[in-house]
Amino acid sequence: MSREKIKVPGKVYEELEALKREIHFTLDHEDTIKKAEDRGYMAAANWIRENERDYKIGFSWGYEPSGEEPRGMLQDIPDPKSPPTKRTIAKPMATMEPRSQKKGSGSKSSGGFFAGIKNWLGKYF
């Protein structure tokens, strides 16, 4: 038998690679099946259960996807887009001018909170 990588279905390949990054592979396939199921890699767990011999050979020589390339790998995630340019309208700075309060001009100036209450009471009572 030549030393070729073991061909596995695309989904199984993805899960085996993820499993390889998360745990230390062992030749104890029962332990690896349990770890795969604990992590939710059901396709890999079923494949290992059905192909014990191929799993042990692939453990040493490696795996490769058969058919199409795996999807959802980190290199397939697109680069983030730059934030959109903000479109703002330049508004002239409005300056506030203080009110001119002239005493004796007929306008009532507020003398504070209590003066306002006193004026209100005087107006209605």
Each residue's pLDDT tens digit, 7-66: 888 888 888 888 888 887 677 888 888 988 988 989 999 999 998 888 888 877 888 888
Give the bridge partners for 8, in sequence order.
Answer: 65
What are the residue boundaries of the structural domains of the chain, listed by start?
Answer: 6-76
**CA pair distance 51, 105, nearest whole angstrom:** 101
**CA pair distance 57, 27, nearest whole angstrom:** 10
Q: How many C-alpha atoms does 69 have within 13 Å on its Cβ side? A: 5
For the record, the structure tokens of 92 come out as: 């002239």
Question: For position 68, what pLDDT does the model report?
Answer: 56
| Secondary structure of residue 99 in the 3-state scheme | coil
- Per-residue model confidence as pLDDT tens digits over 77-119: 566 777 777 777 766 666 677 776 655 544 555 578 888 888 8
- Per-residue model confidence as pLDDT tens digits over 8-21: 888 888 888 888 88
Q: For the whole prediction, is pTM greater than 0.75?
A: no
